[in-house]
Structure 1
Amino acid sequence: MRLGNGYGRFAAVVNSLLLLLFCLMPVCLMPAQAQTAGQTPGQNDKPAKSISLAVLGDSLAAGFGIKPEQSFPARLEAALKADGRTVTVLNDGVSGDTSAGGLDRVDWILGDKPDIVMVELGANDALRGIDPASTERNLSAIIEKLKAAGVTVWLAGMMAPRNFGPDYVTAFDGIYRRLADKYQVPLYPFLLEGVAQDPALNQADGLHPNPQGVAVIVRNILPFVTKNLDLYAASLHRPARP
């Protein structure tokens, strides 16, 4: 009995010590928890979601006559990644496509769920002498469909061949500014700025940029793209550099 009582007293002492230890454990853990809570914001955040930018266009986007990795969308994505931006650029260009063809493809490209669509269409309309009013209606319908789907729209402008006469040139060239103002979308005035009619930057047909010409297009348009990526990110309350 005395032995039993002895063990009983010993157990009571051990239990008391264990109880004290458990009571002190939260206090001991507090500095580590406080340190975790005091970490620099963003250290444990997941990487920002990649932004998807689709280029709905014609042969200028598709990369007619050059390798796929030399196309405008591919080179633009490479330039954005080099700038530290997480952006995927989708090549939705079809050689020979007109504004009407682009309109027919809108539902198809929406299947990829792009965040932003750069509309690069109209060059083939002008080359075929299509009524500028028809081109404007098609581009307007494209913008409306994209906006209705919740997609951000950018517009890349084009210019008519100058041998079509001043009336046609004025009517066609004004399409893009009118649409940009009407729908409040960013406009890059002329995709081929600095490249058009330069033999050193175009293929033998004089219409399609060679790899050097694509490099000039990307260099020229990059400030427009990065500025509007920042505006897009700000509109979603994301960091300025997605």
Structure 2
Amino acid sequence: MSVSYGTSFAAVEGWLRTFACLLMAGWLVTLPQGAAHAQAPAKPVKLVVLGDSLSAGYGLPATAAFPVRLQKALTDKGVAVDITNAGVSGDTTSGGLGRLDWSVPDGTQGVIVELGANDALRGVDPKIPREALTEIVKRLQARGIKVLLCGMLAPPNYGKDYADKFNAIYPDLAKQFDIPLYPFFLDGVAGNTALNLPDGMHPTADGVDIVVNKILPTVETFVATLAPKN
């Protein structure tokens, strides 16, 4: 029994010609727009860490600073973010307020506020950091920027009365402005000599990673509220 290959090739050639004509005429259905959008990478959420030396990365390589390590941790989990390090060593809450406008550029969607350690170390009247942090939150919210507040604890050498007044600032403001609070920025690191530089106050690179790992779930939840809505 013989098979006519010529007939089969002719049929295929005719089909290809028809397909090409339909394609050129624009008659073939393209992929739905939704499918194309699904393939597009998500735009990164723009964050700023407004802080002092604890988040700036004092005594560490730039790649070991808190904002850099936090961005890597989020990226590793598939969360697209662009985090700016706006930490200034030695800054108090008043200092952060004074540079707020140029430290947080337009287009920022969320700010992680890490300030207050230097106020506490200097024994500044708790009324001052309370007022400064209040104004920082108000100004950011007025610009449509969401805030994640990182708490700080006063050292014990100023006594219980001072510590009670200072430590209450952060939960009070979180409740007042209905913003998320991470209770203590140095949780798991403070007081551990192995995780701090010789000054006993600033985290080592390993210490920064612990800070990042502990705060990560809170930041993930925060970032989810900032994702652009389609």
TM-score class, shorter-chain normalisation, is 0.7 to 0.9
Name the CA distance, whole Å, in 2 between partners of 1:38 and 1:64.
48
Aligned to 1:199: 193
Counterpart CA distance in 2 for 1:187 and 1:105 is 22
**SS, match of residue 47 in structure 2:** strand
Question: Do the aligned partners of 2:49 and 2:112 also contact (CA within 8 Å) in 1?
Answer: yes
SS at match of 1:226: helix
Distance 2:206 2:26 in 1: 61
Structure 2 counterpart of 1:37, which letter?
P
Counterpart position of 1:237: 229
In the alignment, what sits opposite 2:10?
A: none
Displacement of 1:130 in angstroms is: 0.2
**Residue 176 (1) aligns with residue 176 (2):** no
1:17 match = none
Choose which of 175, 179, 190 in structure 1 pairs with 2:184.
190
Q: TM-score scaled by structure 1?
A: 0.81
Question: In structure 1, what is the equivalent of residue 47 of structure 2?
Answer: 53
Partner of residue 110, structure 2 = 116
CA distance in structure 1 between the aligned counterparts of 2:107 and 2:34, rounded to whole angstroms = 35
RMSD of aligned alpha carbons: 2.1
Q: In structure 2, what residue type is equivalent to 1:138?
A: A
Deviation per CA, 1:10-35: give whole Å up to 9, x if none.
xxxxxxxxxxx9xx969x854x31x5
Q: Distance in 1 between matches of 2:68 and 2:33?
A: 41
> What TM-score, normalized to structure 2?
0.85
Q: Tell me if the contact between 2:74 and 2:80 (Cα under 8 Å) persists in the aligned partners.
A: yes
Q: How much has 1:230 moved relative to structure 2?
A: 1.4
Which whole-Å CA distance do the structure 1 matches of 2:162 and 2:71 have between them? 35
Aligned to 2:140: 146
Q: CA deviation at 1:42?
A: 3.1
Q: Secondary structure at the match of 1:129?
A: coil
Unaligned runs of 5+ in 1: 1-20
1:133–1:216: structure 2 CA closer, same or farther, 3 Å change rule? same
